[in-house]
Copies of this chain bind each other. A is one copy, B any other.
Amino acid sequence: MSYEKLDTHNLKLAGLDHALAILGADEATSMPVGGGDQRAQAMATLSGMRHELASAPHVADWIDAAQNEDLDEDQELGLLEFKRQYLHLTCLSPDFVERRTHISMRCEQLWRELRPEGDWKGFAPALGEVVALAREEAQLRSEASGLAPYDAMMEQYDPGNRTADINPVFSKLKTSLAELLPQVLAAQEKRLADRPLKPLNGPYPIKVQRELGLALMKAVGFDFTHGRLDESHHPFCGGVPTDVRMTTRYTTKDFLPGLMGVLHETGHAQYEQGLPRKNAHWPHNSARGMGMHESQSLFVEMQLARSPQFWRWAMELVSKHLGKEVFDGWDVEDILAHVNLVKRGLIRVDADEVTYPMHVILRYEMEQDLISEKLKVGDIPEVWNEKMNQYLSLSTKDNLADGPMQDVHWPAGLFGYFPSYTLGAMMAAQQWAAMKKDLPKIESEIEKGDFSALNQWRKDKIWEKGARASTPELMLSITGEALNPEYFIAHLRTRYLTPAISD
């Protein structure tokens, strides 16, 4: 039976993916420095073997034959998602993939080298080559899928996402944020004038911060029989669903960055840990996509772990680990003032939840124009600066390092990825609203540190669904309606414009 051949084929792909995931996590957390060259060689070889195996022409025959075999519903769903991925993988020729790998790797290396000085002139030609290839890729993907070029690029990260649906959502969000942001900043200024920010009394030893992080992960619902926490330069959530490798990074000056990083990655980790275990080697049992994944990390980090309910419970646990003096004379408003501080800034990854979408919308708009050739690479700095002025009243003139040279995505050839961050933030807010409707007592449970109902809801509605539906279909099934920016906007209003936070 061809289905069985595909089953063995998926086991092999899963074996290689398992190896690549653990090797990648090990590289970032454990590998001695001299192991890098051979590790890169081994991982490149395994990736090449994976691509060769996954895109082999006889797989198409197996798919065709399996479609006429007697399959149950789950097998059919698996075959459907497998076919979708196979088409995505094979619409680029091996020659094109090799060319893209070389050009984007060279551009990424150049980016690492030239970013510190913001040397745009040295960087732009290499980026130009990457953009030219991305245009070619979008065209190839478009022809294969029947989608518009930029939609075909997004389809890789969030199946079902279309600019036609996202444009009005982002447009509404942009208008609302332009109106909200000055109000939020004014309200914050007033609050801080009445009640100045209390200083955090570090240093906080890393060992103690780690213990605190572990305690919060455990409380929030991370399963330590299927995962662990390590340290790395860039926090990530990797590994495999039965062995999730999560990292954070600490600074002794402040415990909040490490802790919020832990909570963000815990959200990702729970999604992986909660995926269907049966036939885990078939792709319909993987996570849906980048936007949905980000919704799970932001559900924990933003919706849960920056809320007054959460901190009413968490302050005691934090004090237990860091010492009573850490919150001496504080109430919940004092810690919320720290975790929900809003500030305009140039750097996307440092942005708070109010300003973050502006960074994404800027990139989303520019990406579309780059792919459609409306925007030339040489004009990026000027357009970036204009948009930063318009959206966040900031200038990146003569500061390219903190402007269009700040992200790895474009040098790496990842176009169509950025919108997922903000789509995830909006999804999380909408999921939170749906959950509150389904679980009317949830806020009082959170205040007691009881996250069991909250996690069960996520498991039933999201994690266990794997990749059985497209991103918009899944959102509809979770919340009963299509993605609607009003939930996120309402969330920001409640959190940042309601005068009294404590009760």
Contacts and interface: CB of A to CB of B under 8 A. Distances in A.
Nearest to A45: B15
A68 interface: no
A283 to B, nearest CB: 16
Interface of chain A, helix or strand or loop or mixed? Answer: helix
Interface stretch (A36-44, A130-138, A147-155, A456-464): A36-44
A18 interface: yes
Nearest to A280: B38
For this chain, the copies found in one complex come to: 2
A242 to B, nearest CB: 4
B225 A15 contact: no
Contacts of A15: 41-43, 45-46, 49
Contacts of A242: 34-35, 37-39
A228 interface: yes
A18 B32 contact: no
Interface stretch (A19-27, A158-166, A211-219, A256-264): A19-27
A87 B32 CA distance: 35
Nearest to A43: B15
Interface residues of A, number: 36
A59 to B, nearest CB: 16
A380 interface: no
A449 interface: no
A161 B18 CA distance: 38
Given A19-B19, A22-B26, A228 B45 contact: no
A137 to B, nearest CB: 26
A93 to B, nearest CB: 20
A276 interface: no
Interface of A: 11-12, 14-16, 18-19, 22-23, 26, 30-35, 37-39, 41-43, 45-46, 49, 223-228, 240-243, 280
Given A18-B23, A19-B23, A35-B226, 13 more contacts: A15-B45, A19-B42, A19-B46, A22-B23, A26-B30, A32-B227, A34-B223, A34-B226, A34-B243, A35-B240, A35-B243, A38-B240, A38-B241
8 interchain residue pairs of minimum CB distance? A35-B243, A15-B45, A18-B42, A34-B225, A19-B19, A34-B226, A38-B242, A15-B42
19 contacts: A15-B42, A15-B43, A15-B45, A15-B46, A19-B42, A23-B23, A26-B26, A30-B228, A32-B224, A32-B225, A32-B226, A33-B225, A34-B223, A34-B243, A35-B226, A35-B243, A37-B242, A38-B241, A38-B242
